[in-house]
Structure 1
Amino acid sequence: MRKLLLMLAMLAGGCAVGPDYTPPVASYSDQWHSDTGMDGSAQAAGRQWWQQFNDPLLVSLIDETMHNNRDLAVALAHIERARGLRREAGSGYFPTLNAGGSANRTRFSRQTGFGANTGTRSTFSAALDASWEPDLFGRTRRAIEAADARLQASLAAQQGLMLSLTAEVAVNYFELRGLQRQLVMTERDITLLKEMEEIARAKTELGVASDMDISQAQGERENIAATLPALHAGIQARIFRISVLTGKAPEFYNTILLQAQPLPVVTDRVPTGLRSEILKRRPDIRQAERELAAATADIGVAKAEMFPVFSLTGSTGSSARLFTDLFTPATLTRSLGAALGWPVFAGGAITARVDIAKADARAALASYEQSVLLALEDAEGALARYAGEWQTLRQLKAAEASRLQAFTIARLRYEAGEEPFLVMLDAERALITTRDAIVGSETRVLTTLAQLHKALGGDWQPADSNSASAPH
């Protein structure tokens, strides 16, 4: 019997049906497609890219999100579930033990009973049953492989969600600060238009201008003032979103975030690293690859059902008529047995399950390949948008200088009576429009930077930096 058990253990450790998993190789160029002016000689660093803005409130909001966001709580529960399924799969390696006991008191009929089966009898029994199914064809091993892969996929999904949430908090925060700055500028523009209205009124009273100048100035001021409600609503919406992302009621951060702060300043050059590095860093790609590994292992689980199942059973216990006699030598019982089961015919159900598992694996492979392509597209697009927004910002600032000069000249000429009021008003309108566009562009520089870090799978820094930290 000892030799039989040893042979079964060797078989269990040396045979597993189904394909062995080999990670797919995605071969793509290391060079970015478009010339964005970014630094490609970089290596990955930690994911706390938001600390570069030196904004303690932003850091605090992201930390709060990482601790209290409800979607992250769901992801954590999924991880715990995957861990439970892994433990359940691993239990197949071990025997099962069941303990039982009973106590009965029976009164037999004196008319129909005979011999010992008359009167009243008490019986007591206790038993310990054991059974073990050797993993001869690797069903348990493949199930463990699948459970391990799904656990790792759950961890990657959580990391991907964390990456998305940090970017979403940052984007809403930057948009909030941009709207607050635009609100201040709009109120300043209204004040400036009031001044122009007063100039026009004074010139009208002197008889050197008409009421048309006053009406034009007033109409322009009211047109600018009409944008204030939308700005206030946009600010409130961003505060609501940030509060909910941190796991709080929508109005929770009203008092803190309504206090305007300037937009953070960032550099126009971001080290991006080699393009192929994002395939190792992006959590969504890791999740897709782990799901492919699980689907491949599921083929082995399905195929193992086509082979025989061998099991060993054993039982030991005691049965007595008196409770005090339990486990005495005369009342002990024991048994040992073996069983063999082989699904010879199941109406094609087993082969159908194998075909299903193979189809799932093909789908998982296609999903992985698609996730790689989408990641490359996402990163390339984010780089192009970030670099393009910087170019837009530079051109807008150059336009602001020209339009400020034009407005200054138009105002001086109007006050000197050399130009009509409409010329000065058009010059100011153009200046206001350009300044609003600059605020929008500065905000988009920050939001596209947050989206760029998300697309790259985290943070990046020059290869010679000593401050690199492991992703967490």
Structure 2
Amino acid sequence: MNSTFMARAVACFSVLSLSGCVMGPDFQVPDNPLASRWAPTPSEAGHSATNESAVDVRWWDSFADAQLSALVREAQTRNFDLQLAASRLEQSRAMRRQVAAEELPAVDGAAGYSRSRNSQRGLSDPSGNSGKQAYNLWSGGLGFSWEADLWGRVKRSVEVADASVQMAEEDRHAVQLLVIVQTAQDYIELRSTQQGLAVVEQNLHIARRSLELTRLQLKEGVATDLEVSEAAAQVAEIQARLAPLQQHSAQLINALSLLVAREPRALQQLLSAPAAVPAYTAIVPIGLPSELAQRRPDIRLAQARLHAATASMGMAEADFYPRITLSGNLGFQALQLSDLGSWGSRSFAFGPGVSVPLFEGGRLQGALQLQEGRQQEAGIGYQKTVLRAWHEVDDSLVAYQASQRRRDSLQQAVEHNQRALNSVHQQYAQGTVDFLNVLTVQNALLANQAALVDSTAQVSLSLVGLYGALGGGWQG
């Protein structure tokens, strides 16, 4: 009968908890009032265009570079920053389970044995021996406690924990996107550096041929010692450009090794052979501006942070109201082990407890005001994050189009420089121009070829930056 009474009491408090009100405002996803007033920069004729179709979640494969795709896959599997972010996510999920346990009753089991002897002149002896001899005491039972969540404090705490899990998950998404972008950027820059090395080596070969020609002309009395010295200096100046490029290439290979959690120079054999800079010439899908908040991890993180701050306000408001706790225990106690478990050895205690905040000296009011301030700060932070994301996308689109214009102009310049160098070499061999003309044209060609390699890589790098600003990649 007593057990039935306890079960009914628990059921009663459960109904009260479920039917109780939840304090604080419910979270609503903020509107983006600027979404209707912002549109991406239109594409220009003659360059890679953009459209509002869905963003490619595996955009790195669109560069058609198997080595790049393999490095991105390996980085997503092995990168230590990603592993750390995944560990933080698991910790937040464990914390959420810990918080959610407050919604359920806590039940503890206990068993014990002791041998005691009371004072003959002290308090009453439970053994009935008046302290004249020792006795055994056997006990065992169950205890439970449960808070009736009448004001939704526990529900709001679980809501905060859910938002914290979301924050940790979006942090992992942000790290994943950053690792993908960094891997692609380092790889493109590596290939650009290798192409730059090839340009310098090609010009070094031309400069050495010019030096040989000048020495022959010196023997024939056509050239002077000054022209030979100028040609030799040109060879040394071009050769001096090799070392910084070789150093930068080695450092980029090490950077990629670190991204895939490998030791220094682990990718040297794999990546040392020069290859073309990955290029993307198809139409670039950028999605709708209104969908940006669904893709960017930083916006999703700011939204989860705002959600947690909003739910925390409800927790602070619930602290103003009484807390009702139901607790009790049911067990057995006997002096003889053989009597333990008999009906006469049973014991129980049951009853509710109420805690009412009567005077807190303004502590609760201060806590509520603090949460309101944090919620306001999180709301402003969300708006700032969204606006900054739109600026980054717009800036990335502008950079992508500008890099294409620069590359096209440099291609024309290199073609003109190449024709000019061929012409000036013929004229120098015929003795119609001096070597200074050769130096001038060759230096111009070398500068424009290096700039063309850099601008070609910059087109791909700006596209990688655009995809990073669009938030595409972690979904794949």
Name the TM-score, length of structure 2 as normaliser: 0.92
Q: Distance in 2 between matches of 1:76 and 1:52?
A: 27
Quote the Cα distance in structure 1 between the aligned partners of 2:143 and 2:419. 95
**What do the CA deviations read for 1:348-407 (whole angstroms, capped 9, x no partner)?**
111111111111111111111111111111111111111101100000011111111222
Aligned to 2:129: 116
- 1:51 maps to 61
Q: Please state whether the residue corresponding to 2:285 is helix, strand or coil.
A: coil
Aligned-partner Cα distance in 2 for 1:158–1:3: 45
* 2-structure distance, mates of 1:25, 1:404: 56
One-letter code of the match for 2:256?
Answer: I
Question: Are the equivalent residues in 2 in contact too, given 1:268–1:387 (CA < 8 A)?
Answer: no
Label 1:251 to 1:123 Cα distance change in 2 as closer, same or farther (>3 A).
same
Whole-angstrom distance in 2 between the partners of 1:209 and 1:243: 51
Compared with structure 1, are the counterparts of its residues 403 and 39 closer, same or farther at alpha carbon in structure 2 (3 Å cutoff)? closer
Contact 2:40 2:397 in 1 (8 A): no
Q: Secondary structure at the residue paired with 2:341? A: coil
Contact kept, 8 Å, 2:51 with 2:283, in 1: the verdict is: no
Equivalent position of 1:34 in the other structure: 41
Q: Distance in 2 between matches of 1:391 and 1:265?
A: 15
Q: Could you list the runs of 5+ residues in structure 1 that have no partner in the other structure?
A: 460-469
Out of 369-378 and 256-265, give the one that drifted further.
Answer: 256-265
Aligned counterpart for 2:27 among listed residues 21, 27, 36:
21
Partner of 2:105: 95
Output the amino acid matched with 1:319.
Q
Q: Write the distance in 2 (CA, Å) between the matches of 1:364 and 1:13.
A: 30
Do the aligned residues in 2 keep the contact of 1:39 with 1:273 (CA within 8 Å)?
no
For residue 475 of structure 2, what is the aligned residue in structure 1? 471
Verify: 1:86 aligned to 2:99, yes or no: no
Matches within 5 A, 1:52-67: 52-67=62-77
Question: Where does 1:163-182 land on structure 2 (aligned, <5 Å)?
Answer: 163-182=177-196
Task: Give the letter aligned to residue 29 of structure 2.
Answer: P
Q: Distance in 2 between matches of 1:138 and 1:40?
A: 49
Tell me whether 1:68 sits opposite 2:78 in the alignment.
yes
Encode CA deviations 1:238-270: one digit per residue, 9 max, x unaligned: 011111111112221122111222222321642
Q: Take 2:416 and 2:129, find their aligned partners in 1: how far apart are those partners? A: 118
Q: Quote the offset at 1:277 in angstroms.
A: 2.3
Kept after mapping to 1: 8 A contact 2:76/2:82: yes
After superposition, residues 123-162 of structure 1 pair within 5 angstroms as: 123-162=137-176
Aligned pair partner of 2:18 in 5, 12, 30: 12
Q: Distance in 2 between matches of 1:97 and 1:223?
A: 81
| Stretch of structure 1 that moved more, 27-36 or 12-21 | 27-36
Tell me, in whole angstroms, the C-alpha distance in 2 between the residues paired with 1:110 and 1:268: 98
Percent identity for Structure 1 against Structure 2: 29
Aligned partner of 1:359 in structure 2 is 373
Taking a change above 3 Å as real, the CA distance of residues 260 and 13 of structure 1, as seen in their structure-2 partners, is farther
Deviation at 1:108, TM superposition (A): 4.3
> Equivalent of 1:313, from 319, 323, 327?
327
The AA in structure 2 aligned to 1:249 is: E
Give the counterpart of 1:349 among 351, 363, 370.
363
Which string of whole-angstrom CA distances, capped at 9 and with x for unpartnered residues, describes residues 95-135 of structure 1?
A: 11111122111234568799622212111111211111111
User: Which secondary structure state, in structure 2, belongs to the residue aligned with residue 266 of structure 1?
Assistant: coil
Assess, with a 3 A threshold, how the Cα gap between structure 1 residues 204 and 268 changes in structure 2: closer, same or farther: farther
SS of residue matched to 1:307? coil
Q: How many residues align?
A: 462
Q: Give 3-state SS (helix, strand or coil) of 1:340's partner.
A: strand
Q: Structure 2 unaligned runs (5+)?
A: none
- Please say if residues 49 and 282 of structure 2, whose CA atoms lie closer than 8 Å, have aligned partners that are also in contact: no
Two-structure CA RMSD over aligned residues (Å)? 2.0
Paired with 1:335 and 1:33, the residues of 2 have a C-alpha distance of 70
Q: Is the 2:137–2:334 contact (alpha carbons within 8 Å) kept by the matching residues of 1?
A: yes
- Given candidates 169, 192, 198, the residue that maps to 1:184 is 198
Paired residue secondary structure (1:66) = helix
1:401 to 407, 415, 421: 415
Q: Is contact 1:40–1:273 with CA below 8 Å preserved after alignment?
A: no
CA distance in 1, matches of 2:463, 2:317: 49
Amino acid aligned to 2:96: R
Summarize deviations over 1:284-341 as a string: whole Å, max 9, x none. Answer: 1001101100110011111111100011122111110101111101111112211111
Match of 1:257 among 256, 262, 271: 271
Structure 2 counterpart of 1:376:
390
Alignment of 1:283-294 (within 5 A): 283-294=297-308
User: Once the two structures are superposed, what CA deviation does each residue of 1:10-57 show, in whole Å capped at 9, x if it has no partner?
Assistant: 453441111111111112236535334365543324421111122222
